[in-house]
């Protein structure tokens, strides 16, 4: 099993969710986050004063998938989240050793 974490632009969430659903991934955790990479924030004007916004709003999607579904999930995220502009985001794939569903005690892929 693998954990896929994707950091994407907020306005792409619905499109990415639909794309993931089309490849069979229906469960995920969505968190509003802030951060920056090469984009390094931007400058805004507020009441006549200019200031730098260091952290940009992003959305973090986390999902656990079977190893056989990792490439389909990654492709779905990339195709739906890509705008071609800086700040499109990142995807991280990590190994998961064990999953336990608290309610039933199911373990492994059955718990996903």
DSSP three-state, residue 94: strand
Enter the CATH code of domain 2-111: 3.30.70.120
Percent of the chain, pLDDT > 90?
71
- The least confident of 8-22, 25-39, 46-60, 63-77 is 46-60
Name the residue with higher pLDDT: 94 or 51. 94
**Per-residue exposure over 101-112, b if at least 16 CB sit within 10 Å of its own CB, e if not:** eeeeeeeeeebe
Tokens of 44: 């805004």
Average pLDDT score over residue span 40-49: 68
Within 10 A of 88 (CB to CB), how many other CB atoms are there?
Answer: 15
Q: Model's pTM, two decimal places? A: 0.85
């Amino acid at each position: 099993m693998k954990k896929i974490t994707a950091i994407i632009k907020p306005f792409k969430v619905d499109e990415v969710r639909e794309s993931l659903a089309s490849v069979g991934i229906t469960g995920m955790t969505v968190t509003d986050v802030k951060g920056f990479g090469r984009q390094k924030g931007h400058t805004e004007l507020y009441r006549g004063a200019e200031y730098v916004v260091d952290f940009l709003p992003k959305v973090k999607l986390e999902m656990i998938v079977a190893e056989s579904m990792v490439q389909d999930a990654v492709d779905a995220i990339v195709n739906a989240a890509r705008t071609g502009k800086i700040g499109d985001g990142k995807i991280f794939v990590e190994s998961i050793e064990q999953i336990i569903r608290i309610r039933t005690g199911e373990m492994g892929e059955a718990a996903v």
